[in-house]
A = this chain, B = another copy of it.
């Protein structure tokens, strides 16, 4: 990897729409930092399995969360590791064209291939657990009781180093065929956004919504 871009490999260079692909490190990180749920793929008994999982990015590593009892993580020992594919997708808009064929989606999606290893170092595990909480709500880890020894032992985290990774995206307006433009159908883009509603406190929480949380809820992100 260079400082500014991930190396291209056969499986990170798409066979089509190559102009929508990027290996730019900052662009990849920007997408990863805009979400907190990924889809984790692995192979079990020869068949593919895809499960939603929370994650955090720390530098050039992704940390993925799971209980020690969960299926994929049992296979991700500290030594041998588990081959995985981690995909993070943000949907930005629905592109409605005059023709069914030219309908499309505005999106950004990062796909990372590699081998995930279970995190066993206590300091790294503590860092990862804080990062997992802060990835969803920045600043949250400072406003929660950290895991005690029993809880840390019951929490499995795996690390995937970002190495073989790419971004695909589509942006912009609709691409109608010239011949279709006179058709009467509505054509354009419907933007899609994720928003947060007012926090719903537990009865034991009587104070105001903390600043970091108010800031978070006031923002919005692509889906």
**A199 close to B190 (CB less than 8 A):** yes
Stoichiometry (number of copies)? 2
**B193 close to A205 (CB less than 8 A):** no
Chain A interface bracket (under 10, 10 to 19, 20 to 34, 35 or more): 35 or more
Measured between alpha carbons, how far is A39 from B205 in the docked complex, in Å?
Answer: 37
Measured between alpha carbons, how far is A129 from B99 in the docked complex, in Å?
Answer: 11
Q: Which residues of B have CB within 8 Å of A185?
A: 143-145, 205
Q: Beta-carbon contacts of A90-104 to B below 8 Å, as 1s and 0s?
A: 010010111111010
Out of B107, B129, B137, which one reaches A96, CB within 8 Å?
Answer: B137
**A146 close to B189 (CB less than 8 A):** no
Q: Does A89 contact B (CB under 8 A)?
A: yes
Measured between alpha carbons, how far is A88 from B43 in the docked complex, in Å?
Answer: 18
**A89 close to B140 (CB less than 8 A):** no
